[in-house]
Amino acid sequence: MQGFTRRHTVQEALSWLDVQLRTLDAEDVPLRDAAGRILASAVVSDIDVPGFDRATMDGYAVVADSTEGATPYNRIPLSVVGDALPGAPFTRTIARGQAVRIMTGAPMPSGSDAVLPAESVDTEHRRGGSSDPSGGATPPGTIAAISEVSPQKNVGHRGEDIVRGTTLFEAGRALRPQDIGVMSSIGLATAGVVRRPRVRLVITGNELLPTGSKPHDYQITDANGPMLAALAERDGAVVEFPGLIRDDADAISAALGVGPALSQVGHVLPDVPDIIIVSGGSSVGIEDLAPMLVAQYGKLAIHGIAMRPSSPTGMGTLGSRLVFLLPGNPVSALCAYDFFAGRAIRVLGGRAKQWPYRGVRGTLTRKISSPIGRLDYARVKFDSGRVEPVSVSGASLLSSTTRADGFVIVEQDSEGYAAGSEVEVWLYA
């Protein structure tokens, strides 16, 4: 065993990684499956929505000046010549003094320019006739306007919602449910979205038991597999997790999709996903086989990073696939995922590379110490602007991240923060 010959800075690691990243190709998916996906290209409407003038309330379509001067004491009769319903328009042209009974959303009849609300009409005559206050009779087949309506009142116009040629959504937008509704309203059945990155999890360790098992003797139950799967899916990946892998060169080679038994030396199998995330066996011990295999069959570009936790993190490529070697300690795995693997998944899937965490400012209640030359990921609690460190060590203590509300980053050129310092906290939720 020997230590790392050098440790890359976090910025060096990120710089290498960003050069490797590109957005994946587009694919068409049914609108029903498009919520949350990332648009690959702009959506431009080729129609007006609505495609016709329509009533915005129930009532009677009229020529507005037919109702001029109407009041409950000056009832103006209008002849009812038909009905207009959504999807069943009145097809003739109406003139002054005529009305068409119309429902909300129905097309406005030709010749009409307003909708007289139902409450502005006396319809007693339609059940046998009635008399107006002056003693005159209102003949059957007519209504009486008892208030006037102005032109274009209660009318929704063609293109009022969407005008033909309008760019509705730009590429890179994460589609929301209401976006899906708008896309459907212009006649789309599918959405062109960025393909979701395929991620394979390779969780190694002879001491590990599968999820659902009770720890016993000297064995522990796997925490990294479920945690990393949830993180990758949060960031938009399709996750393949075939199960735990023993610390054995042949088993790890098979999980990586390399080796003489699977393909020619130096080549990966064509069905290996876009990203492989290995957890465990990433350091320089005698059982740390993954770095050796990546170097043998691909390129191990980064191994050892000046950060705490997660210093044994590695990155490289197998063919065109990115490989991330994360430490087996759970907090280290979480930290390395946040800094590197999650960034790659988001960029490949068309999302922003930045953390999906909300940043807030607060004041430290106790100091956070850190040596120059190493970036530190310090877990903290946050309450009403007060920031309390939970732990700055203990990479195997995953529960420290559940007690924490978020984390503070101490950059490598800093010795930390004194009590009372204002710091930025990245909140887990």
Give me the CATH number covering residue 276.
3.40.980.10
What's at 388, amino acid-wise?
E
Sign of torsion, CA 115 119 121 124? positive
Among 156, 178, 213, identify where a domain stops. Answer: 156
**Tens digits of per-residue pLDDT, 260-283?**
755 444 444 445 699 999 998 776
Q: What is the DSSP string of 375-417?
A: EEEEEEEEETTEEEEEES--TT-THHHHH-SEEEEE-TT--EE
- Residues 307, 325 within the same domain: yes
**Which 3-state string (H, E, C) describes 257-323?**
CCCCCCCCCCCCCCCCCCEEEEECCCCCCCCCCHHHHHHHHCEEEEECECEECCCCCEEEEECCEEE
Residue 1 belongs to some domain of the structure = no
- Residues 236, 318 within the same domain: yes
pLDDT above 70: percentage of residues in the chain: 90
Average pLDDT of 44-59? 97
Residue 180 belongs to some domain of the structure = yes
Among 134, 156, 178, identify where a domain stops. Answer: 156
- Residues 329, 200 within the same domain: yes
Residue 421 belongs to some domain of the structure = yes
Q: Report the distance separating Cα 175 and Cα 426, nearest Å.
A: 25
Does residue 392 have a pLDDT over 90? no
* Cβ–Cβ under 8 Å, residues 236 and 196: yes
- Residues 266, 392 within the same domain: no
Among 139, 169, 194, identify where a domain stops. Answer: 194
**pLDDT value of residue 2:** 52
- Residues 399, 272 within the same domain: no
- Residue 53, number of CB atoms within 10 A of its CB: 19
- Residues 331, 371 within the same domain: no
**pLDDT value of residue 284:** 65
Residue 102 belongs to some domain of the structure = yes
- The whole domain housing 174 covers 29-50+160-194
Averaged pLDDT of the chain:
90
More confident residue, 242 or 408: 408
Average pLDDT of 137-166? 89
**Tens digits of per-residue pLDDT, 127-145?**
444 444 433 444 458 999 9
- Residues 203, 248 within the same domain: yes
CATH value at residue 146: 2.170.190.11
More confident residue, 230 or 268: 230
**pLDDT value of residue 92:** 96
- Residues 138, 175 within the same domain: no
Residue 307 belongs to some domain of the structure = yes
- Residues 83, 99 within the same domain: yes
Residue 4 belongs to some domain of the structure = no
Sign of torsion, CA 158 161 163 164? negative
Q: Report the distance separating Cα 152 and Cα 393, nearest Å.
A: 70
Residue 123 belongs to some domain of the structure = yes
CATH value at residue 407: 2.40.340.10
Does residue 18 have a pLDDT over 70? yes
Model confidence at 83, pLDDT cuts 50, 70, 90, reads very high
pTM of the predicted model as reported, rounded to 2 decimal places: 0.85
Residue 379 belongs to some domain of the structure = yes
**pLDDT value of residue 281:** 78
More confident residue, 107 or 4: 107
- Residues 38, 172 within the same domain: yes
For helices 249-256 and 290-297, the axis angle rounded to 10 degrees is: 50
Does residue 212 have a pLDDT over 80? yes
Does residue 188 have a pLDDT over 90? yes
If you search the block for the tokens 């602007």, which residue do you land on? 385
- Residues 182, 329 within the same domain: no
Does residue 332 have a pLDDT over 50? yes
CA distances from 86 to 99, 152, 160, 162 (A): 17, 19, 17, 19
Q: Could you tell me the two tokens for 17?
A: 């990684």
**pLDDT value of residue 429:** 84
**Beta-carbon contacts of residue 242 (< 8 Å; ≥ 6 apart):** 200, 255
- Residues 235, 339 within the same domain: yes
Give the total number of structural domains in the chain: 4
